[in-house]
Amino acid sequence: MAPRPYHETTSKRVVSGGEKSIANATNPADGDSACAQNMKLRVILITAIGSRVKAKGWTQAEAARLLGVTQPRVSDLLRHEVGVFGLDTLINMAAAAGLNVEMRVSDAV
């Protein structure tokens, strides 16, 4: 099942559109490099956490309790509402879901 569309509101524009937007976020062609990298990491985390929730068959209420968030936040997660989550929150949610998060830092090219 394809992810539902998400919307990220910025001062400049609204980004919308499900899989295509996720693909663009994970391979940004333009825009601020730091912002694009942040978006890419958030998309990766949201996708992994959402996959875990679905694989475990958790209801949104169960997932909320296990992840330490509210049910509406789980709904946002499952709809790929990237713009409403920060990296800290997503890393905490991933850990609560039993996922191991690793980060690699390298010199910019």
Its domain, for residue 42, covers 33-99
In this prediction, residue 20 has a pLDDT band, given cuts at 50, 70 and 90, of: very low
The reply to whether 15 falls in a domain is no
> Would you put residue 78 in left (φ > 0), alpha (ψ -120 to 50) or beta?
alpha
List the CATH number of the domain containing 66.
Answer: 1.10.260.40
In this prediction, residue 10 has a pLDDT band, given cuts at 50, 70 and 90, of: very low
| Average pLDDT over all residues of the chain | 81
DSSP state of 83: G
Q: Return the pLDDT at 108.
A: 82
In this prediction, residue 109 has a pLDDT band, given cuts at 50, 70 and 90, of: confident
The reply to whether 94 falls in a domain is yes
CA distances 64 to 48, 53, 56, 67, Å, are 16, 10, 13, 5
In total, how many domains does the chain have?
Answer: 1
Report the pLDDT averaged over residues 40-57: 98
